[in-house]
Amino acid sequence: MYEVSVIIPNFNGKKYLKDCLDALLVQDFPSFEIVVVDNGSEDGSVTYLKENYPQVRIIALKENTGFCGAVNAGIHTSQAKYILLLNNDTIVQEGFIKALVQDIKKSPDIFSCQAKMLQMHDKGKIDDAGNYYCALGWAFADGKGKPEKNYNERKKIFASCAGAAIYRKSILNEIGCFDEEHFAYLEDLDIGYRARLYGYENWFCPNARVYHVGSGTSGSRYNLFKIRYSSRNNVYMIYKNMPLWQIVLNFPLFLVGFGIKAVFFACKGFGREYLAGIKNGIQISKKNKKVLGKNIKKSRIWCIQFWLYKNIITRIL
């Protein structure tokens, strides 16, 4: 049995696979497997993998189940102690797996550890140094576009970006895997939020370095699919993870935050899609029953609420 399962979701990402897999195959960690979960690609990805990477385990899905469906398929077949999720448009650096495993082993209360994600085309700048959420209803990646030398300290974060992060399988078994209702976008923030509600922690591990293209599947930073699903999933995530009293408490700030976003995307020509996503998020929230775990203490919710207020300042700065 492997200690780590590296799970890579892939959808028409054949052009990225060689660089991604070659970097993994020279890692010095003694016990890991590589699992590529193909989401019904039509670019020959599966054939390419079978012909060139026989050591890689392939799960070929018949249709595109989104990021969540793909990684869950990999997680459910894994017997490893740790699950390492990795985007296909990444190139890991020396000691990547070892650093993440060492970090997550520091405490049994750690659910996830995220690598230092660097921009592929400007390697001196951060792509993502931890995911955060604030009381304005904004999700954001810490450090994006800033010098990577400023992010060399290990720190507790709100949630890990699933593009390059390791998760403890036993906690996934306890709190549940990625919510497939999300399909894609904010699913990693949602599961990190859920873990915090259960009393677990998420950490940033700067010693694990990885270069990331970004938007390798969706194609660009702003597009109709991404904007609609992000706003949809944002509403759904709030509904799922906050009790009614907390939603009421944050509602005035949500109005401000969502309003600013609506104006921002309207100026870029995506206002209609952003609002359609919010409407869709309300619809799926009504469809899905709110289930907050029985072991969730009110003190944990207040602790998270403090983070939500604090992260407003972090985001603005």
Digit-coded pLDDT (tens) for 258-297: 999 999 999 999 999 999 999 999 999 988 877 666 668 8
CA separation for the pair 254, 208 (Å, rounded)? 35
Residue 81 lies in a domain: no
Residue 311 lies in a domain: yes
Q: Given pLDDT bands bounded at 50, 70 and 90, which one contains residue 216?
A: very low
Least confident of 123-127, 181-185, 300-304: 181-185
Domain assignment of residue 302, given as a range? 224-316
Residue 248 lies in a domain: yes
Q: Say which DSSP state 55 is in.
A: T
Q: How many CB atoms lie within 10 A of CB 214?
A: 18
Of the two residues 277 and 214, the one the predictor is more confident about is 277
Q: Report pLDDT digits (tens) over 197-213.
A: 999 999 999 999 999 99
Mean pLDDT of 4-22: 98
Q: Report pLDDT digits (tens) over 105-134.
A: 999 999 999 999 999 999 999 999 999 999
Residue 224 confidence (pLDDT): 85
Mean pLDDT of 88-97: 98
The proportion of the chain whose per-residue pLDDT surpasses 90, expressed as a percent, equals: 89
Q: How many CB atoms lie within 10 A of CB 200?
A: 19
Residue 203 lies in a domain: no
Residue 284 lies in a domain: yes
Nearest to 46 by CA among 27, 60, 26: 60
Of the two residues 49 and 287, the one the predictor is more confident about is 49
Least confident of 104-118, 177-191, 238-252, 279-293: 279-293
E strands, the chain, are 4-10, 32-39, 57-61, 82-86, 90-92, 110-119, 122-128, 131-133, 139-141, 155-157, 164-168, 201-212
Q: Looking at the 3D structure of the chain, how many domains does it have?
A: 1
Residue 172 lies in a domain: no
Q: Given pLDDT bands bounded at 50, 70 and 90, which one contains residue 218?
A: very low
CA separation for the pair 95, 207 (Å, rounded)? 8
Q: What's the gap between Cα 123 and its chain centre?
A: 21
CA separation for the pair 186, 184 (Å, rounded)? 7
Residue 94 lies in a domain: no
- Please say whether the beta carbons of 38 and 10 come within 8 A: yes
Residue 115 lies in a domain: no
**What average pLDDT does the structure give for the chain?**
94
Residue identified by tokens 């997680």 is 75
